[in-house]
Structure 1
Amino acid sequence: MGDADQKALNALAKGAGVTAIGMGISKVLTYLYRVSIARFVGPEAYGQLSTALMVVGIASTVAYLALGSGLKKFIPEFRSRDDFASIKGIVISALQLTVPVSIIIFLAVFFGAEFIAVTIFENPKLVPLIKILSFTIPAGTLSRLFFDTTLGFNKIIYKTGTVRIFQNIVQLGTTLILLLMGFKVVSAAYGWLLGTVVAAILGFYFMEKKVGPILFSKTKPSYHRKKLLRFSTPLLLSGIIGTLLGWADTGLLQYFMEDLEVGLYNAALPTAILILLPHKAIGSLAITSFSELKERDKESVESSIQRATYWVFSLVFPTFLIMLLFSDKILQILWGSEYTQASIALSILATGYLIDALVGRVGSLLQSEGHTKYILYNNTAALTLNIILNIILIPPYGIAGAAIATATSTILTNVLMYIEVRKKEGINSIPHKKISKIVLTGLIPLSIIITLDTILFTNTPYWFLIPAGTTYITTYILLFLKTIGLGEEEKEVFLRIGEITGTKDKVKKILATIERRI
C-alpha cells in the first residue's frame, strides 16, 4: 500500500475515532431519551410524540432553507481572502432569509396544529405536542445557523460538544424530571424544546465570543443574499426529500394505523439504525480523504473505499446477526415487553441497513466527485418507492409493511449508487473475498449460540442474551484474528492512533501479544 493510501486510511481511522465518540454519545443519549419516554408512557403515547416530531422535523427542514451548506462553503473562502466584511454579511444575509421564514412556518404549524392533528391524522391528542414542539422551529433554525457559522471557521468542537452532547443531556434530564413529576408525554416535548433553546443560546455565544465577534463587530457588512440562495436552493430540495424519506413510514403509519403501531415501529427503527454507527463514523471523513486521493489515481480511491467497507462490515455484521437472532429479546430488554411486537420489523430494518453498510461509502464518493445530481435522483426514486410501498403494504401488514418499504428503499438507493460508481468511476466498493470471509467467520459462532439455545431452552429467556452475546463476540473476534488477522495497514493505523493518544508503546505490546497467540 502506498503512502497516499495509508495517509487516507490514517485520516479515516483518526476522524472516525473522534467522530464516533461524539456521535456515539449523541446516539446513546437520544436513544435513552426515546426509551425513557416509551417506558414511562407506553407505545401509544410514544407514537403520538413520534408523529409530532415528524411534523416539526419536516417544517424545520423547510424553515432553514439549507443555508448551512452555503455558510460552510463561503465562509472559508472569505477567510482565505481576509474578507471579514463578506463573512459578516453572509451570516446576516442568512439570518435575514431564515428568521422571517422560520417565524412564518412556526405560526403556520402552531395555529394549524388542530388541522394537522384532526383533519389529516384524525388524532386530537397530537395538538398539544405539535404546538409545544412548533417553538423549536425558530429556535432550531438559529441554533443550526450559529453552529454552521462556527463550522465555517473549522471549529467543530463547539457543535459536537453542544448539539451532539449537551443538548441531548438537557433534553433527557428535563424529560426525566417532568416524567417523574407526572407530566406524561408532554414532558418529552418540553424537554426537546428546552434542549433546542439552550443550544441556540450557546451557539450564539460560541459564534460571537469564541469565533467572532461577527454580528456585533464594527465592520461594515457586505451582503450575499442572492449568492447564498443560488447555492442553497438546489440543496433545499435534496434536504426536503431526505427528510421526507426519513419520516414517510411514520407519517403513513399514523395515517393508516393507530398510535400503538407508530410507537412500536419507532422502537424498532432507532434500534436498527444503531448498527450503522461505525458506517457513519468512518464516513464522516470519507469525502475529504477521497477528494485528496482522486488527485493521484483511481486505484488509491478504490483501495481506500474497499478498506473502509471492510472495516465497517467486520463491525456491523456480527451486530446484525445478534439483532436478527434475538430481536424480540433486545426490544424486551431495552424498551419493555410491550414492544416485542416490533421484532419482525426490527429484523427487516436491520437487513436493509446491513446492505447499506455492505455497499460502502459510495454516496460520499459520488459527492466528492461532484455527482450530486445522481444523489438527488436516487433519493427521489427511493422516496417514490418508499411512499408507494408504504401505501400498499401498511394496511394489510402494519409495521412489518412499513419496515419492508423502508428497507427496500434503502437497498434501492445503495444499489443505484453502487452501479453509478462502477459505471462513472470504474470503482468497485465491495472487497468480495474479504466480505465472504467475514460472513463465514460470523456464521460459525452463530451456529454455536443457536445450538446452545436449542439444547437449553424451549422458550429463550431474555437474560440469555447477555451470555450469548458475550460468547458470540468473543468467539467472533478470536476467529477473525485467526482466519483473517490484522493486515499491515490496520497495524499502521492502530500505531498511528496510539501515537496521537500517547499510547503507542501499549498498542505495540497489544499487537505483539496478538501475533504471538493467534
Structure 2
Amino acid sequence: MTEGEGDSLKSELFSKTAFLYVSTFASAIFGYIALYFATRFIGSVNYGIVAFAISFVGIFTFVTDLGFGSAHTKKVSEGKDLQSCLSVFLLVRMFLIVIFVALVLGAMFVWEIVLGQGYEYPETHMIILIVLLYYIQISITSVFTSTFLAQRDVLRSQTITLFDVGSRAITTLVVVAFGFGLVGLACTYVAEGAISLAVALLLARKRLPRIRLAAIREPIFREYLGFAAPLALASVISPIAMYLDKVLIQYSTNAVETGIYYGSQSLLSFYLALGAIVSWMIYPAISEISIQRNGKEKILKITSSTLRYFLLLTMPIMLFLIIFSKEILSIFLSAAFEPGAIAFSILAIGYTMGLLMSPFGSQMLGMGMSKLYAKYALIAIAINIILDILLIPSNISVITLLGLGKDGAAISYLIRQIVLLSFFLISARKVIGFRAPAGIPNISAAAMAAVTLTYFLTGFMDISRFYDLVALFMLNIGFFVCFAIAFRAIKKSEIRELLRLLRIKSLLQKPGI
C-alpha cells in the first residue's frame, strides 16, 4: 500500500465512520421513541416481561453464530469469492437457526413440563414464542448486514438498520394508540424483524438466485470452519453472559426490577453501538492490510488513531451520563426508573470500556489471531457469569449470596470489561508495539472541567424536560471542545481534518452486493 493509498483508506474509513455515527444517532432517536412510549404508556411490568423473554431466548442465540460471523467478515474482506462466501454463511446460518429453535423449545418444555415450573406472569409463555420468531428473523438478516459491512458498504448496511429501528418506533406508537398492551409490545419486535429482513433481501436480491448448496463441500467452507472453530466456545458463552443478568434479576426479584435494568441498558445501547460501528469498519481494513508488507506499522497507526478519537468522543459523554444519571432515567424513561441510576452509571463506565477495546478486538481478528482473542474473551466472560451468580441473587437454594440485584449485574459487567481491555492492551503492546496515545491526561482534564462547569450551571437551570437535558448535553460538549483546545488535547488542524473527511464521496466506494 503506497502513501497515497494509505491516505485514501484513511479518508474512506473516517468518512464512512462519520456517516455511521450520524445514522446511528438517527437510529438512537427512533429507538428512544419506542423505548419512551413502551415504558411510559405500556408500563414497566409489561416492559419487564418482554425484557425477560428477550433475555431468555437470547441466551440460546450462541448457537446461531459459533464464530462464523467473524469468519465471514474475514474471508469477504480478504477478497474471497463473494458468491461462495455468501452461500456458505447463509447455509450454515440456516442450519444453526434450526438447532437454535429446537434448544429454546426444549428448554421451555423442560422448565414447564418436566420440572413443573411456571413464570411470574402466565402470559410470559406466549411472549417467549413471539420473541423467538423475532430472533429467527434478525439471525437471517444479519447474514446480509455482515456482508455489507465486510465490504464497507455502509449505505446498504445502515439502510437496513434505519428501517429496523424505525419500524419498531412506528409500531410501538400504533400499539400505544390502540391499547394493544403486552402482546402488542412483543409483536413490535416481530414487525421490526420482518421489515428489516424484507429490506435486506431486497438489497441483496441480485445474489440470492445464485446461492449454491454445493458451496458447503468446497474448500471455502473448511476455511470458514478453521477460522470459526477457536471462536466457537466464546460465541457460545457470550450470549449467556449478555442475557443471564436479566434472567437472574427476574429470578431473584421481579419484572419491574428487570425492566429498570433493561431500560438502562437500552438507553446506553446507542453508545455501545458506536464501538461496533468502528469495529465493523476497521476489522475488514486491518484484515486487508495484514497480508501486505509493513502491515503491522499501518495497523498500529489505525489502532492508535482510532483509540485517540474514541477517547475524545467518550470521555465527555461518559462523565455526563454518570453525573446526570437520575435526570436521564427520569426524563427519558420515567420516574419509576430512577432506582436504576447507580446501575446506569456503572454501565456507562463499562460501555466506555467496550468502546475503547473495540479497535484492539478488530486488530486481533483482522490479523488472524482468533485463538488468542477467544482465549481472552472466554476468561472475561467466565468471570462475568461467575460474578453474576454471586452478586445478583440473594440466595440460590440454601446458599446465601450478596443480593445486589441490578447493581450487582452492572458491577459484574464492568469487571469483565476491565479484564478484557487489560488483556487486549497487553496483546497489542506485544504484537504491534502499541503505546498509549499522547494527551490522555489532557483529554481527561478537559472532560472533567467541562462536566464540572456544566453541573455548576444546573444551579441556575430547571432540568425537567428532555430539551433541557439535551441543551445541557450540548453545552457540555461545547465546553469540552473549548477546554480540549485550551489544554492542547486536540488541535484546531485536527478538527478541520475531521470536518474535511465528513463528505459523501467516500461513501460510494466499495459497492456491496
- TM-score (normalizing by structure 2): 0.82
**1:465-487 CA distances to partner (integer Å, 9 max, x unpaired)?**
45543433222222223442436
Displacement after TM superposition at 1:437 (Å): 0.9
1:118 is displaced (CA, Å) by 7.3
Match of 1:51 in 2: 52
Q: 1:184 aligns with which of 174, 181, 185?
A: 181
Question: What count of residue pairs does the alignment treat as equivalent?
Answer: 490
- Flag the structure with more relative contact order, 1 or 2, with Cα contacts below 8 A and sequence separation at least 6: 2
User: Which residue of structure 2 aligns with residue 335 of structure 1?
Assistant: 333
2:450 corresponds to which residue? 445
**1:350-365 pair list within 5 angstroms:** 350-358=348-356, 361-365=359-363
Q: What's the C-alpha RMSD, in Å, of the aligned pairs?
A: 3.6
Q: 1:179 Cα deviation (Å)?
A: 2.6
Deviation at 1:129, TM superposition (A): 0.8
The amino acid of 2:484's aligned partner reads F
Q: CA deviation at 1:403?
A: 1.0
Listed one character per residue, the Cα deviations across residues 73-113 of structure 1 (whole Å, up to 9, x for unaligned) are: 56788965x9x6x5686367437634643553465467668
Q: Does 1:435 align with 2:440?
A: yes
The corresponding residue for 1:377 is 375
Q: How far apart are 1:150 and its partner, in Å?
A: 6.3
- 1:311-330 correspondence to structure 2 within 5 Å: 311-330=309-328
Retained in 1: the 8 A contact 2:168–2:191? yes
Q: For 2:500, give the aligned amino acid.
A: L
Of residues 480-489 and 116-125 in structure 1, the stretch that sits farther from structure 2 once superposed is 116-125
**Alpha carbons 1:65, 1:233 under 8 Å: kept:** yes
Work out whether residues 250 and 262 of structure 1, in 8 Å CA contact, stay in contact via their aligned partners in 2: yes
Residues of 2 paired with 1:130 and 1:477: CA distance? 46
Paired residue for 1:479?
483
Residue identity matched to 2:338: T
Deviates more, 1:405-414 or 1:389-398: 389-398
Specify whether residues 247 and 116 from structure 1 end up closer, same or farther in structure 2 by C-alpha distance, changes over 3 A only: farther
Which residue type is aligned with residue 200 of structure 2? G
* Bigger shift: residues 166-175 or 60-69: 60-69
Any residues of structure 2 matched to 1:74-223 within 5 Å, and which?
A: 80=81, 86=84, 90=88, 93-94=91-92, 97-98=95-96, 100-102=98-100, 104-105=102-103, 107-108=105-106, 114=112, 119=117, 123-145=121-143, 148=146, 157-162=155-160, 164-207=161-204, 209-215=205-211, 221-223=214-216
Residues 62 and 238 in structure 2, CA contact (< 8 A), matched pair in contact too: no
- Give 2:159's aligned amino acid: G
Q: Which sits farther off after the overlay, 194-203 or 50-59? A: 194-203
CA distance in 1, matches of 2:85, 2:287: 26
The separation in 2 between residues aligned to 1:320 and 1:63, in whole angstroms, is 33
* Worse overlay, 22-31 or 256-265: 22-31
For the structure 1 residues 240 and 172, does the alpha-carbon distance in structure 2 shift closer, same or farther, using more than 3 Å as the test?
A: farther
Paired residue type of 1:246: M
> Aligned partners of 1:28, 1:451: CA distance in 2, in Å?
28
Query: Does residue 499 of structure 2 align to residue 494 of structure 1?
Result: yes
**Residue identity matched to 1:451:** F
Equivalent residue runs for 1:347-426 within 5 Å:
347-358=345-356, 361-394=359-392, 395=394, 396-426=403-433
Aligned to 1:509: none
Instruction: Provide the residue aligned with 1:516 in structure 2.
Output: none
Whichever of the two has the greater Rg, that structure is: 1
CA contact (8 A) 1:113 1:127 kept: no
Instruction: Return closer, same or farther for 1:198/1:249 CA change in 2, 3 Å cut-off.
Output: same
Which letter does structure 2 place at the counterpart of 1:40?
Answer: F
2:248 counterpart of 1:241: no
Q: If the length of structure 1 is used for normalisation, what is the TM-score?
A: 0.82
Q: Secondary structure at the match of 2:122?
A: coil
User: What is the letter of the counterpart of residue 325 of structure 2?
Assistant: S
Q: Give the fraction of aligned pairs with identical amino acids, expressed as a percent.
A: 21
Secondary structure of the equivalent of 1:272? Answer: helix
2:229 counterpart of 1:224: no
Structure-2 separation of matches of 1:397 and 1:116:
31
Distance, in Å, in 1 between the alignment partners of 2:276 and 2:420 is 16
Query: Matches of 2:334 and 2:303 in 1, distance apart?
Result: 39
> In the alignment, which of 253, 257, 261 is matched to residue 253 of structure 2?
257
CA deviation after TM superposition for structure 1 residue 177, in Å:
0.9
Could you say if the C-alpha distance between residues 106 and 392 of structure 1 is closer, same or farther in structure 2, counting changes exceeding 3 Å?
closer
Q: What is the match of residue 514 of structure 1?
A: none
Distance 1:42 1:113, change over 3 A: farther
Aligned equivalent of 1:25:
26
Shift of 1:123: 4.8
SS class of match (1:185): helix
| CA displacement at 1:324 relative to structure 2 | 1.3
What is the distance in 2 between the residues matched to 1:173 and 1:465?
A: 24
Q: 1:275 pairs with 261, 267, 271, which one?
A: 271
Q: In the TM superposition, what is the alpha-carbon distance from 1:288 to its structure 2 partner?
A: 3.5
Deviation at 1:271, TM superposition (A): 2.5
Shift of 1:9: 3.5
Q: What is the rounded CA distance, in whole Å, between the counterparts of 1:65 and 1:425 in structure 2?
A: 28
Contact 1:309 1:361 in 2 (8 A): yes
Match of 2:473 in 1: 469
Q: How far off is 1:50 after superposition?
A: 0.9
Distance 1:49 1:328 in 2: 24
Q: Which amino acid in 1 is paired with 2:263?
A: A
Task: Give the conservation status (yes or no) of the 8 Å contact 2:20–2:154.
Answer: no
Give a deviation string over 1:3-48, Cα, whole Å, max 9, x none: 6764453233112123223333333333432332122222222111
2:510 is aligned to none
- Give the match's secondary structure for 1:210: coil
Contact 1:283–1:361 (8 Å) recurs in 2: yes
Q: Give 2:294's aligned residue.
A: 296
Q: Which runs of 5+ in 2 are unaligned?
A: 395-402, 508-513
Pair 1:318–1:144, CA change in 2 (3 A): closer
Distance of 1:165 and 1:244 partners within structure 2: 27
CA distance in 2, matches of 1:479, 1:76: 40
Distance in 2, matches of 1:49 and 1:388, equals: 25
